Chains A and B, each alone.
Chain A
Amino acid sequence: MVGFQHYLALSGILFGLGFYTALSKRNAIVVLMGIEVMFNAVNVAVVAIAKYLLPFSLAGSVASGGEPAYQFLLTGQVFAIFVIAVAAAEVALGLGIVLAIYRARETVDVSQFTLMKE
């Protein structure tokens, strides 16, 4: 039976893989892919939390402003949707900069971007 721990473990593994990719790969496009994986690891975590944990923690009713609790059951999913939108903006900007850097340098190898080292 797949439960909360499995989702959380999946999210942790994805996050670790993304982090490793973002910091160790030499191709700028692959670095951006690593970042994307990190964001999606977060999405897995928040949606799992919303599905498995939220109904219990809301039983004590800490809902803000005294509104009915069912609205807050969706917080995790809403969180994920915002993360997806922001990640898309991030990647669009990233690809734009990679394109500009390719025009200036004719390479996307991040290990060669050392103009400003002392």
Chain B
Amino acid sequence: MSPSELFLLSPEISVALLGGVILLLDLAVKRKGYLAAAALVGLLVPAGFSVGLLIRVGSESTGQLTGVFDTLFIDRFAIYFKFLILAATALVIAASVDYRARLGRFQGEYYGLILFSASGMMLLAAGAELITLFVALELATLPLVALAAFLRDARSTESGLKFLVLSAVSSALLLYGMAFTFGVAGSTWLRDIGQVLSGASQETGAPFGSYALMLGIALMVAGFGFKIASVPFQMWVPDVYEGSPTPVTAYLSVASKAAGFAVLLRVFYVALGSADLRVEWGTLFAVLSVLSMSVGNLVAIAQSNIKRMLAYSTVAHAGYLLVGVAAVARAGPSDSLGPSGVLFYLATYTLTNLTAFFVIIAIVNKTGSEVIEDFAGMGRRAPWLALALAISMVSLIGVPPTGGFIGKVYIFSAAVRHDLAWLALAGVINSVVSVYYYMRVVRALYVLPSASQERVPSSLPLRWALGITAIGTVFLGLLPTHLLRFAQEAARILTS
């Protein structure tokens, strides 16, 4: 490994090192508020390295570098996710400041674990080989498990144990799927697998060309489906979301999901992207998509706890995102409408969902209740927080002028273009159903009367983070062009 290869890995290395530095700093400083500040400043380093990589990749004719024994792809796709994950990490760290009182004396560990997980997620988006992907996946997940159990009370530990057991079972399924794919293709490198599978004749009559490959793909879908919280692998979501510390839930719902979709797109497009395979798994994802949005939306209606409601909402949004993945499958060799839709939607979803969770952190800090009806009267008690939450709900429904609207239009039009109009129709119907439970929150904020008139306090970092996410949500609805172009360039790597 040469120094130039080290540069290819520099964003991940610097994030992991930063995590270590924060751990050590925790021993040295008395005022723990400095830890979050140090983490935020430190995150500028990997961001700078990522910009450097972007410039380096731009000068490459293929738009792609491979490095570190060919186990990493460095391309716009990976860098898009590096920026997305770094941004989500920074925002969550800033918003965690309001949660400090409940973290007790383990703040260094808290920020450290978030950063370790971020380095795993960034690797996940860049991995070019199955073993690397597996290790990156565990590096992303295990710190999140520890964070879910971080409060060490009955609820938090329960959610941690459920998360651990189900994520371990799903990684085992994923691994078994990787083993079968490895057996069929004779290699763990995604590109080699793609070459072998597109060269192999598919005339055995078995689905996916052979039963071993079918089993491998089905098991991998189960493993990744867990990560992106798609039905039928969503059973961990509500309990883990409810029991985890709220900033961790926020992080889990955006960064972990983004990384999951990154690896899903990469594996299925690069390794399993031959034309006849695409048709098979495209249909599979279309079915999972309809199931996810329907189940997520219908169960969300019945929820009274806002974190639990957002947990089912995230299942529904996994369904909308899978529309884009299913459209990937039917696309021609140079058509990247589906994947670029997924990339753009993930960015808007990150901003929107973080907005919602940041408001919940501030309000629950004051009221101590996560029941939706207890958000009553916040329109008067905390006008700015209420406005931000309302924007976020509107964007989750997909109403203009928010990013959620553009994302949905883009993803559904990709589906229509690829003869999946029924899937787009299912998505639209589900969006209409979702109006009911999202508007219930807005109704509580502005219509329901509340007993107390006390103001809701929030810290400066949280207000900044909230401002960025709320304004970003609206901004992407009004001026989506730049991000769309970046997403299209990033997705082109998958299809070329």
Chain A residues proximal to chain B, CB less than 8 Å: 15, 18-19, 22-23, 28, 31-32, 35, 38-39, 41-42, 45-46, 49, 53-54, 56-58, 62-65, 72, 75-76, 78-79, 82-83, 86, 89-90, 93-94, 96-98, 100-101, 103-105, 110, 113, 115-116, 118
B149: which of A19, A54, A62, A97 is its contact (CB, 8 Å)?
A97
Does B462 lie at the interface of the complex (its beta carbon under 8 Å from any beta carbon of A)? no
Cβ B165 vs Cβ A104 within 8 A? no
Known pairs A22-B169, A90-B138; A104 contacts B157 (CB<8 A): yes
- Inter-subunit contact A62/B196 (CB<8 Å): yes
What is the distance, in angstroms, from B395's C-beta to the closest C-beta of chain A?
26
- A76 contacts which of B134, B160, B161, B182 (Cβ < 8 Å)? B182
Interfacial chain A residues near B169, Cβ < 8 Å:
19, 22-23, 35, 38
B215 CB to nearest A CB, Å: 10
Question: Does the CB pair B182–A94 fall under 8 Å?
Answer: no
Asked if B278 is an interface residue, CB under 8 A from chain A, the answer is no
A1 to B245, CA, bound (A): 55
Interface residues of B in 48-82 (CB under 8 A from A): 70
Q: Are A97 and B191 in contact (CB under 8 A)?
A: no
Given A35-B169, A42-B176: A116 in contact with B239 (beta carbons within 8 A)? yes
B145 in contact (CB, < 8 A):
yes
Measured CA separation A28–B491 after assembly (Å) = 43
Find chain B residues with CB under 8 A from A58 CB.
186
Could you tell me the distance between the alpha carbons of A86 and B132 in the complex, rounded to whole angstroms?
A: 12
Contact with A along B162-203 (1 / 0, CB 8 A): 101100110110011001101101111101100110000000
CB <8 Å contact, A46 and B187: no
Given contacts A82-B131, A94-B168, A113-B162, is CB(A104)–CB(B153) below 8 Å? yes
- A residues less than 8 Å from B155 (CB atoms): 115-116
Task: Please determine whether A110 and B161 come into contact, CB atoms closer than 8 angstroms.
Answer: yes
Q: How far is the CA of A75 from the CA of B239 in the complex (A)?
A: 38
Query: Which of B179, B302, B305 counts the most chain A CB atoms within 10 A?
Result: B179
Contact A105–B154 (Cβ < 8 Å): yes
Cβ of B158 under 8 Å from chain A: yes
Please measure, in the bound complex, the distance between the C-alpha atom of A116 and the C-alpha atom of B187, giving whole angstroms: 43
By a beta-carbon cutoff of 8 Å, the part of chain B in contact with chain A is 70, 130-131, 134-135, 138, 142, 145-146, 149, 152-155, 157-162, 164-165, 168-169, 171-172, 175-176, 179-180, 182-183, 185-189, 191-192, 195-196, 238-239, 242-243, 302-305, 308
Given contacts A38-B169, A104-B153, contact A49 B182 (CB under 8 A): yes
Which one of A19, A31, A93, A103 has the highest number of Cβ atoms from chain B below 10 Å of its Cβ?
Answer: A93
Chain B hits for A100, CB < 8 A: 149, 152, 157, 160
**B186 pairs with A104, CB closer than 8 A:** no
Q: CB distance A28 to B308 under 8 Å? A: no
Beta-carbon contact of B162 and A93 below 8 Å: no
| Given A39-B175, A82-B135, also A116-B243 (CB < 8 A) | yes
Complex interface: chain A residues within 8 A of B159 (CB): 116
Known: A49-B182, A98-B161. A42 touches B187 (CB 8 A): no
Give Cα A93–Cα B171 distance, bound, in whole angstroms.
15
- Compute how far the CA of A31 lies from the CA of B157 in the bound complex, rounded to whole angstroms: 16
Query: Is the pair B164, A86 in contact by a Cβ cutoff of 8 Å?
Result: no
